[in-house]
Amino acid sequence: MKKITMLFLAVLSCGAFAQAQVDRGSMLIKNGTVFTITKGTLENTDVLVRDGKITQVGKNIPAPTGIKIIDASGLFVMPGIIDAHSHIALSSINEGTNAITPEVWTGDVVNPLSISIYRALAGGVTTVHAMHGSANSIGGQCETLKLRYGTVDADVLRMEDAPRTIKFALGENPTGHGRRDGQQPQSRMGVEFVIRQAFSEAKEYMATWETYNKAKLQKGFRGSPPSYNLRLETLADILKGNIIVHCHSYRADEINMLLNVCRDFGIRRIVFQHVNEGFKVAPELAAYGAMASVFSDWWSYKLEVYYSTAYNATILTRNGVTTSINSDDAELMRHLYHEAAKTQKYGGLKDDEALSLITINPARQLGIENRVGSIEAGKEADIAIFKNHPLSIYTIPVLTIVDGIVRFDREKDVDDMRLYIDPKESIDIPTFQEADHTHENCMLGAEETAQNIFDLN
């Protein structure tokens, strides 16, 4: 911990980085069973990585001088897992003071020291969508993160030039289960209204600026510009297609409602999250080009999620909807490969189809499919290596690679990264009589407890 503290102080003393310095590595992965996802499964195949990118996939690739070699004989190599709905590395996710808060951004509060990042890597995850919560009809902007664990600089985790995304929400969450604080709509009808009202205001804002920008100069001056408004600027960017909407949703009627809203305002880029009743409107989602990011078999945990099916992902896939399986949970994220495997029991998806749900499809939903999500020459070297087939109940993630850098190695997993306390280690706990209850020592204990909670988050 002392080394981390000294490094953190050194960073503070240097001031803010002009640009995040991202490490990228080179290696040759030899003789693995490679799931390319987009180009089939290749037996006894090598993957060459140079400066963080895959440069060659094939058999018997000669090793460049001095390059790191990973022997994947008997192992399974696949693209790093991508979670399209995550809240890790964030301590607070809801700005619930207004029904419309697109001006806030989770990227401002990413915690690069969160142990949840390392635990996700241990499950083969390399990219996550760190989302705002679902307290608002239109919430805050989200951040796509690469899990480059081992830095104190949050900028290192940001996926450079990833498309902007934003969180919407329908149903019980934004209505607050009937709360009467005056800040949120009180009904499902009200949720639709505030979304429509927000977009209408954004259209007026855009028109005002367009008129100003087109105005002819009169003696070198065309009048004062309109007032700048970050909320309306962000909404305008949604209308322009510059931001991908990710909407918390459960019920088919509300999903269809938001499709109508998007159609009316010309919004084409939308991903429905959770979408438990998506199977009821799968043809409508496919016809619109909307995507769906679902749970494999979670439902009935509250009234509006009462009705769903474990066949949801398969039905959506078979209807032509680009579908992913997500976690929305730091623990579930660690075994998304098991969640994808469930679609082989519930729907009989083939290996590549099931693995697409946690690789190339979430990449498409985040607009990063040209960079990650499959093993192809030219793509970034985000790779997960498993012992046993990744869709087997017996599979074990052994190596997770981000940008050609090994970020998790099961054989070298350090003790202080483990979840449990070493059972061989004895711990002396003082009795009540032995404990010193002075004000000073109580305050010290509170600080230590707070630090422990921070570390666990």
Q: Are residues 59 and 148 in the same domain?
A: no
Q: Is residue 303 part of a domain?
A: yes
Q: Are residues 41 and 140 in the same domain?
A: no
Q: Are residues 40 and 178 in the same domain?
A: no
- Checking if the pLDDT of 453 tops 80, the result is no
pLDDT-based confidence at residue 92 (cuts at 50, 70, 90): confident
Q: Is 326 helix (H, G, I), strand (E, B) or coil?
A: coil
Read off the tokens for 222: 């065309």
Segment holding 245, helix H or strand E: strand 243-249
At CA 325, angle to CA 321 and CA 328, rounded to 5? 130
> What's the CATH number where 340 sits?
3.20.20.140
Q: Are residues 148 and 268 in the same domain?
A: yes
Q: Are residues 262 and 392 in the same domain?
A: no
Q: Are residues 381 and 363 in the same domain?
A: no
Are the C-beta atoms of 292 and 316 separated by less than 8 Å?
yes
**Residue-level pLDDT at 222:** 80
**Residue-level pLDDT at 15:** 38
pLDDT-based confidence at residue 417 (cuts at 50, 70, 90): low
56 lies in which domain range?
A: 22-80+373-413
Q: Are residues 331 and 377 in the same domain?
A: no
- Checking if the pLDDT of 44 tops 90, the result is yes
**Residue-level pLDDT at 440:** 39
- pLDDT > 90 in the chain, percent: 79
Look at the chain and report how many structural domains it folds into: 2
> What's the CATH number where 392 sits?
2.30.40.10
Q: Is residue 76 part of a domain?
A: yes
pLDDT-based confidence at residue 38 (cuts at 50, 70, 90): very high
Q: Is residue 443 part of a domain?
A: no
Q: Are residues 396 and 349 in the same domain?
A: no
Q: Is residue 439 part of a domain?
A: no
The full DSSP string for 67-102 is -EEEE-TTEEEEEPEEEEEE-TT-S----TTSSB-T
The pLDDT tens digits for 99-149 are: 999 999 999 999 999 999 999 999 999 999 999 999 999 999 999 999 999
The pLDDT tens digits for 184-215 are: 899 999 999 999 999 999 999 999 999 998 88
Give which of 423, 416, 422 is closest to 455, Cα–Cα: 416
Q: Are residues 60 and 206 in the same domain?
A: no
**Residue-level pLDDT at 455:** 40
Q: Are residues 233 and 266 in the same domain?
A: yes
Q: Is residue 455 part of a domain?
A: no
The pLDDT tens digits for 146-182 are: 999 999 999 999 999 999 999 999 999 999 754 556 6
3-state percent breakdown (helix, strand, coil) of the chain, nearest 5: 35, 20, 45
Q: Are residues 143 and 263 in the same domain?
A: yes
Segment holding 445, helix H or strand E: helix 439-456
Averaged pLDDT score across all residues of the chain: 88
Give which of 269, 257, 261, 293 is closest to 171, Cα–Cα: 257
Q: Are residues 324 and 390 in the same domain?
A: no
